[in-house]
Structure 1
Amino acid sequence: MPSLPPSSGSSGSSRVSLRLLRYFAATAETGSTTAAARLLNVSQPSISVAIRELEALFDDALFARDAGTKLALTRFGARKLAQARQILGAATAFEIDKRGEGDAGEVRIGVFRTLAPAYLPAVLRLARERYPRLAVRFVEGDLAQLEDWLHSGQIELALTYDVGLPAEIGREVLAELRPYGLVPAASKLARGKAAISLQALAREPLILIDLPHSREFLMAPFWQFGLQPEVRYRATSLELARSMVANGLGCALLITQVPASGQSASVVEKPILEETVRQPLVIAQAGTGQTRAAALLAECVREAVSETMAARAIPRKAGTAPARKLR
């Protein structure tokens, strides 16, 4: 089994093998040694011994032992998991290249919950068509969760908005999106092709996307102009917010644009009259290294965003803002 040299300062003869790293990563992913053993088809004691070996080698705890039934990574453990993911990814890439299958491998991506319906299906379709041996695993989360998962190494990439991302998170801007008003098709605000003002939108009951960071960002344009709309309902999904607007329960200020196939005649998207904040749509990643599998998936993400926005721009409805160019 290939192995790595012991860390500096270690007095023992233990070596960090890929097997130990796989056991550690599986435990972190599943939250228990029992679940990790089932995942890897090994005995539970083997997993427990591997964790103890690593902790003895590093002379530090990888998991908090008082966190309830589910094992939780310590701060040190989260850092080591990110390193382990990189090593395991590099080892997989080495084995794949040796077999002449450079477009194979496994990659984990996180997608902001409201962005997933708009872009993730196209990402998965492109990945399947172009790289059938590429295994894509995805999770949906809010902005705070995606940041945590990037730091802990649970995901390699994130398709998200650049809202409060720390400097150590790398990012590639795919587009800059402006907020738009979503109004019922039968309302006065839906009439004509002209943009609507934030003041007019603020006079209507507001349906707010209620997710960490999102709620503040979506209220910021109103606050920027001294407006305080009445938040009548709070939704945690884009689909629910759009359905509420379609049923005449209020209006919404949104950033995420739905694909042309998901648009409804019951709602109208209206550009905002005032020049306000623009939201960068980004591919984010922690660290400087990128596996071959992650690079291939990032390529699919870029094209999916471009493809989805271009499709929206072709049969544009009255009152719908044109899609912005990618940078």
Structure 2
Amino acid sequence: MPHPFTLTQLSYFQAVARHESMTEAAARLNVSQSAVSTAMAQLERALGVQLFIRQRNRSVVLSAAGRRLAADVGVFLEHADALRESAQGVGESLSGPLSVGIFAPIAPFRLPHILAEFEARYPHVHVQFLEADLATLQKALYAGECEMALTYALGLGPGFETRLVDTIAPHVLVAADHPAAGRSAPVHLRDFASEPMIQLALPYSQQYYEEVFRAAGVTPYIRHRFYGYETVRSFVGQGHGYTVLNQRVAATTSAGGSTAALGIADDVPGIDVVLAWPERARLTRRAQAFAEVCEGLYRAIRPDAG
């Protein structure tokens, strides 16, 4: 018995549901608005339900039936894509688009190397990145805007599968002329308790750093809070205080100051870097290949300390 709908109709429906606008969906799909409107009308007739509630401002909201369909259509289309890839044969070179989310603070450190290796292996896969905070990445994964995300395992809600890529220990960062800068032995956080701290205050990251200090039994004197990773490093490099970070980069900051990284002797938690995707989703071969490259290279690429 033939199905009453087509993959094209379901793809159009997914776009309209995501953008809550047939005009915006048509623009993203690079088709006419009339084509989208016609396809949605045909899909509603075929299923015998109203999928959208049209608004006066030309936007749309999902009906109850539309919400149920939206919850399943992404998985259905992913299976269809996997079926196409399987039919083409595993021996064929991978091609097509791949959308990957990346947590903004970790994007500059290893991702350029990973992308270079991935493009060398799979030159016909076009990778697009969404650089964002953790909350935005989770929404993008749920909405199907990204197939997977490279992120910290902080604050991930239910409904995600994860694959551990690396665990990164925290370190103390001080100015190059700080009295402790020349020390080779790990330091205790209590040694800095009276000094001003420059805290990276991104959502979830801030809670993690607070957990690090709790584990060490220390209450830091926080002088400044910033959302920018390089802003924090630049303030430290200019002698305004110390900080605790995870990613190690070159000693020179964008503001011209120099820093030194010191290991931590206290028993404090590291931070997990993971690949995450919705638990009901079946990864395409493109995404699986990207995950394999990430796992193979992430631990091997160690940025310069400082």
Category of TM-score, reference length = shorter chain: 0.7 to 0.9
Match of 1:187 in 2: 178
Q: Give the C-alpha shift of residue 148 in structure 1.
A: 2.4
Match of 1:85 in 2: 74
Distance in 2 between residues matched to 1:17 and 1:173, nearest whole Å = 37
Match of 1:293 in 2: 286
Equivalent residue of 2:110, what SS? Answer: helix
261, 270, 284: which one pairs with 1:269? 261
Q: Give the C-alpha shift of residue 238 in structure 1.
A: 1.7
Match of 1:240 in 2: 231
Q: Give the C-alpha shift of residue 181 in structure 1.
A: 1.0
- Bigger drift between 197-206 and 53-62 goes to 53-62
Distance in 1 between residues matched to 2:251 and 2:31, nearest whole Å = 48
10, 17, 26: which one pairs with 2:6? 17
Q: CA distance change for structure 1 residues 40 and 215 in 2, over 3 Å: closer, same or farther? A: same
Q: Give the C-alpha shift of residue 119 in structure 1.
A: 2.2
Distance in 2 between residues matched to 1:75 and 1:306, nearest whole Å = 45
Match of 1:120 in 2: 111
Match of 2:102 in 1: 111
Distance in 2 between residues matched to 1:155 and 1:291, nearest whole Å = 12
Q: Aligned partner of 2:272: which letter?
A: P
193, 215, 231: which one pairs with 2:222? 231
Q: CA distance change for structure 1 residues 74 and 116 in 2, over 3 Å: closer, same or farther? A: farther
Distance in 2 between residues matched to 1:58 and 1:203, nearest whole Å = 69
TM-score by length of 2: 0.83
Q: Deviations over 1:77-96 (max 9, x none)?
A: 67744643343344344445
Distance in 2 between residues matched to 1:307 and 1:62, nearest whole Å = 49
Q: Aligned partner of 1:220: which letter?
A: E
Q: Give the C-alpha shift of residue 193 in structure 1.
A: 0.9
Equivalent residue of 1:296, what SS? Answer: helix
The answer on whether the counterparts of 2:175 and 2:238 sit within 8 Å (CA) in structure 1 is: yes
Q: Aligned partner of 2:31: which letter?
A: V
Equivalent residue of 2:135, what SS? Answer: helix
Q: Aligned partner of 2:212: which letter?
A: P
Match of 2:272 in 1: 280
Distance in 2 between residues matched to 1:75 and 1:239, nearest whole Å = 45
The answer on whether the counterparts of 2:85 and 2:285 sit within 8 Å (CA) in structure 1 is: no
Q: 1:132-281 maps to which residues of 2 (within 5 A)?
A: 132-258=123-249, 262-264=250-252, 266-281=258-273
Distance in 1 between residues matched to 2:290 and 2:164, nearest whole Å = 16
Distance in 2 between residues matched to 1:252 and 1:160, nearest whole Å = 21
Q: Deviations over 1:104-128 (max 9, x none)?
A: 2322211111111112212221221
38, 51, 54: which one pairs with 2:27? 38
Over the residues paired in the alignment, what is the CA RMSD in angstroms? 3.2
Distance in 1 between residues matched to 2:174 and 2:59, nearest whole Å = 44
Equivalent residue of 2:299, what SS? Answer: helix
Q: CA distance change for structure 1 residues 70 and 108 in 2, over 3 Å: closer, same or farther? A: farther
Equivalent residue of 1:190, what SS? Answer: coil
Equivalent residue of 2:109, what SS? Answer: helix
Q: Tell me the number of residue pairs that the alignment of Structure 1 and Structure 2 aligns.
A: 298
Equivalent residue of 1:253, what SS? Answer: strand
Equivalent residue of 1:274, what SS? Answer: coil
Give the unaligned 5+ runs of structure 2: none
